[in-house]
Structure 1
């Protein structure tokens, strides 16, 4: 303890002496900056998202793009949570709901078309599974203008693409609560815009307008709230930048062929 005190006194004296000789001299001291660290969260790989029951009749679709591929219109975090949390949950619960029943041997379309509306497990999870499959499938990059047969049908049934956008957006923005907006081919082959609540869809017996969906917009808050908060209108407008119209056209021509 005495050595420490003596050393401190000597050091103080030396500094005082130096200060007397160089009281006007400024000494520049460089303080090192703290190291910068990356704070971005890692983005997962959609290829790794699998159904819990690998032998179940319903499995996860292959997402045709990376989670961040649709930015800035749909952010990577929303896409990852939407696909790897919400969608896979519907898939898992659907497999559990149909296990050991005759529904396990049917396609999802066949199940929903003949759905027992009182079977809430199949209704909610089967609807969620089908709806999300279609939604993720019709999204994409650099393909935001319709052409070919789907454009001809849009012009015929809505007057113009702009008219279609206006009507579709109005339906999306006015839909109360959680649900979906659809572009469907009805039984006459005409394109129609319709909506459904929760995870219902136009294939179900209770549909306001029945038909084959070719385009779907998810307006549940989990689809947009991280980026757009309560601004659903902004999300709806951004949606037109990430529609894969080639895929929509493919679904439209297939639906038409089954009617004709």
Structure 2
């Protein structure tokens, strides 16, 4: 199986003015594509050559001799998930039922945003902030470094914000807090987030 760069779920300029087509052309067209290319090169003549992406991730997670495979496979997955977490005219409020779930966990929708932003801003170096659901359906916020991702920790990803510098530097320079604020207020695709809840 040759892994492919999945199509973006919107046009390259759909997230403007918040994330520009210039950023997406580099982030999606260069960075995401590079992870796909690297993964295919690493999997040549490998026992996992024909395995689906999630199987590659789970079978390489935590194995020092497969670190390159894990990093590239996880980054392919992370980026695909991240694109779907955003939409044109996103942000705002989730549905009443999901908002109630966030309020039950974090105290208020505003407190959820505050805690999510805190996770994203305080992730040292490159990585990701996540809203996840555990096996019981309880919501939690976590942050992961580099390519690490929730499935490697037995939880389900609902929402992610990419805090690698290449995600925001062309539009926000070093202002990660402003990027995260913009993500929360103007970009989140709440319909997608809710669709990821374990059934």
When normalised by structure 1's length, the TM-score is: 0.71
User: Structure 1, residues 4-62: CA drift from partner, whole Å, max 9, x if none?
Assistant: xxxxxxxxxxxxxxxxxxxxxxxxxxxxxxxxxxxxxxxxxxxxxxxxxxx61x21112
Q: Paired residue for 2:54?
A: 109
Which of residues 169, 177, 187 is equivalent to 2:135? 187
The answer to whether the 8 Å contact 1:150/1:248 transfers is no
Q: Paired residue for 1:46?
A: none
Q: Which consecutive aligned stretches of 4+ in structure 1 deviate over 3 angstroms post-superposition?
A: none
What is the CA–CA distance in structure 2 between the aligned matches of 1:127 and 1:74, rounded to whole Å?
23
> Of the two, which has the highest radius of gyration?
1
User: Structure 1, residues 173-206: CA drift from partner, whole Å, max 9, x if none?
Assistant: 11111111111111221111001111111222xx
| 2:169 aligned with 1:222 | no
| 2:68 aligned with 1:124 | no
Deviation at 1:84, TM superposition (A): 0.3
When normalised by structure 2's length, the TM-score is: 0.92
Deviation at 1:148, TM superposition (A): 4.9
The answer to whether the 8 Å contact 2:60/2:70 transfers is yes
- Pairing 1:1-260 to 2, within 5 Å after superposition: 56=2, 58-116=3-61, 117-118=63-64, 119-144=66-91, 145-204=93-152, 207=153, 210-240=154-184, 241-252=186-197, 256-257=198-199
Deviation at 1:153, TM superposition (A): 2.1
Q: Which one scores higher on RCO, CA 8 angstroms, separation ≥ 6?
A: 2
C-alpha root-mean-square deviation of aligned residues, in Å? 1.5
Unaligned runs of 5+ in 2: none
What is the CA–CA distance in structure 2 between the aligned matches of 1:73 and 1:225, rounded to whole Å?
12
SS at match of 1:249: helix
Higher alpha-carbon deviation: 217-226 or 91-100 = 91-100
User: Structure 1, residues 183-236: CA drift from partner, whole Å, max 9, x if none?
Assistant: 1111221111001111111222xx4xx411111110000000111111101001
What is the CA–CA distance in structure 1 between the aligned matches of 2:190 and 2:128, rounded to whole Å?
18
Deviation at 1:152, TM superposition (A): 3.1
The answer to whether the 8 Å contact 2:60/2:67 transfers is no
Q: Residues 109 and 142 of structure 1: is their aligned pair in 2 closer, same or farther, counting only changes over 3 Å? A: same
